[in-house]
Amino acid sequence: MNAKLSAGLLVAALLVTGCGGGNGGSGQNSSSSTPKVGLITKTETNPFFVKMKEGAQKSAQANGLELMSAAGKFDGDNASQITAIENMVAAGVKGILITPSDTKAIVPAIKKARDAGVLVIALDTPTDPQDATDALFATDNLKAGELIGQYAKAAMAGKPAKIATLDLAPGVTVGQLRHDGFLKGYGIQEGDPSVVCSQDTRGDQAKGQTAMENCLQKAPDINVVYTINEPAALGAYTALKAKGREKDVLIVSVDGGCTGTKAVKSGEIAATSQQYPLKMAEDGVKAVADFAKSGKKVSGYTDTGVTLITDKPASGVEAKDTTFGLANCWG
């Protein structure tokens, strides 16, 4: 009875699966002849990666490719990304676009895929070493940091700064580059006494709020807040507002998500460096399509661009307003 029952239930489950598959992949019959491209993101749910997938889907259709996608269960989930690479290679993809969760740990799996003749392009985050992939399509994160550093310096107009940096996490390149870029743009070195508090937020709004609350306990006179992304910035804003400090503290950020860009428009965040995940994915898929047709592989680093978005431009720092920002934001 047990076996029969579970068999029946499984058939039901498979029917559910069948429906999922039917909805997900159009052109099932032609799937063996259409070249495939794989997209592996850090997570399924982050709006940044949702936008990236959207760009990949659009570009795949335009270039006559079938898109397969996969993601880790959480940011940092290396094992799921390895499994996805293996399964995609087994499925016969021409190329894989990957946003590596662990820049070092993913390298051996990428090497195996490349040895099997698959073009591998890193999107958004470089692998360590960078040449472990054929190419990298990403924002120049150092430059993204520099732009908001320069902006903050100009906006402070010579006032003495007490800076809090709400960072990502130790050992993650993207966070390190943005942080370093900010300091460079502001014209200070790591360890400068004007940086009075540094906390990790994992780019999370709730953790950003906690971090800012703790920073304010430590140094109540903070007047500049650098944040790794806009969720962290909005968390910081909430903490500052609770202390009645939201008007006299300058918050700068990186990312350019739509929620974040709206927060720039409403004045909660002073400025943000906007990046373009849709473009990363579109260009990546295009490169795989070219490879499928001509066998020519892209190589090296392609800068997908970054723009400073603010409605209160500071002199000497090039920026676009939030109208432009909202027209080009992601999420």
Partner 1 sequence: MAVMEATLPRRLITTPVAGPLVALLLACVFFGLRTDQFLTGPNFSLIIQQVMVVGTLAIGQTLIILTAGIDLSNGAIMAFGGIVMTKLAVDSGLPPVLALVAGLAICSLFGLVNGLLVTRISLPPFIVTLGMLNVVFALTHIYSNEQTVTDLPPLLTFLGQTFQVGQTNVTYGSLLTILLFLLFAYLLGSTAWGKHVYALGNSPEVARLTGIRTARLTVGVYTLAGFVYGIAALLLVSRTGVGDPQAGQTDNLDSITAVVLGGTSLFGGRGLVIGTLVGALIVGVFRNGLQLMGVPSIYQTLITGVLVILAVAVDQLSRRRNR
Provide the edge-to-edge strand list for the sheet that holds 250-255: 195-200, 163-167, 224-227, 250-255, 271-275, 306-309
Residue pair 178/144 in contact (Cβ under 8 Å)? The answer is: yes
CB atoms within 10 A of CB 40: 26
Tell me if 169 contacts partner 1 by CB under 8 A: yes
Contacting range for partner 1; rule: CB under 8 A; set: 9-17, 180-188, 249-257, 323-331: 9-17
Interface mask (CB under 8 A) for partner 1, residues 40-59, using x and -? ----x---------------
Contacting range for partner 1; rule: CB under 8 A; set: 98-106, 204-212, 255-263, 292-300: 98-106
Residue 49 CA to residue 232 CA, distance in Å, equals 17
Question: Which helix (H) or strand (E) covers residue 272, if one does?
Answer: strand 271-275
At closest approach, how far in Å is the CB of 74 from partner 1? 6
The tokens for 115 are 């040895």
Tell me if 105 contacts partner 1 by CB under 8 A: yes
Tell me if 116 contacts partner 1 by CB under 8 A: no
The correct pick among 108, 187, 220, 267 for binding partner 1 (CB under 8 A) is: 108
Tell me if 21 contacts partner 1 by CB under 8 A: yes
Tell me if 7 contacts partner 1 by CB under 8 A: yes
Residue 201 CA to residue 261 CA, distance in Å, equals 20
Residue 224 CA to residue 18 CA, distance in Å, equals 53
173-202 residues in contact with partner 1 (CB under 8 A) are none
Tell me if 327 contacts partner 1 by CB under 8 A: no
The correct pick among 54, 80, 198, 321 for binding partner 1 (CB under 8 A) is: 80
